[in-house]
Amino acid sequence: MARVLVVDDALFMRKMVSDALTKGGHEVIGEAADGAQAVEQFKSLAPDVCTLDITMPEKDGLEALRDILVLDPAARVVMCSALGQDAKVIESIKAGARDFVVKPFQPGRVLEAVDKALA
């Protein structure tokens, strides 16, 4: 079981991800609605895994990913975004994301990505 921080600007998406993770045996320890909140939550909660949307206000997911990896180079981050474009996937993985889940997603795919990040 992993302690997970879920980050997405859409409340319904945070709920979908959180529900999938909880049903899969993981504990959602926090949520954030933008990248700036994600970095602050990451600092205070020290999650095992963080899911990050890419397109968000204040600070996008790629900026938040980079900031989180400065705080903890071993951080496990899974990107979740409707932007399934090859360039964004490649940029996320090169920046240090462990996996990338394209929305709309199946709950099992989120669990697979989190489990892969923990491996």
What pLDDT, on a 0 to 100 scale, did the predictor assign at position 83? Answer: 62
d(CA 91, CA 72): 19
Which CATH number covers residue 80?
A: 3.40.50.2300
Segment 33-39 mean pLDDT: 97
The domain of 25 spans: 3-118
Count of the separate structural domains present in the chain:
1
| Percent of the chain's residues with pLDDT above 70 | 97
Residue range 37-70, pLDDT digits in tens: 999 999 999 999 999 998 888 899 999 999 999 9
Residue 103's pLDDT is 80
Does the pLDDT at position 4 exceed 90? yes
pLDDT exceeds cutoff 80 at 25: yes
Look up residue 75 and give its two tokens. 């951080």
pTM for the full model? Answer: 0.93
At residue 82, does pLDDT exceed 90? no
Task: Please provide the DSSP assignment of 65-110 as one string.
Answer: HHHHHHH-TT--EEEEES---HHHHHHHHHHT-SEEEESS--HHHH
- As a whole number, mean pLDDT of residues 82-104 equals 83
Would you say residue 85 has pLDDT above 80?
Answer: no
Mean pLDDT for 1-15 is 95
Min mean pLDDT across 50-54, 82-86, 109-113 is at: 82-86
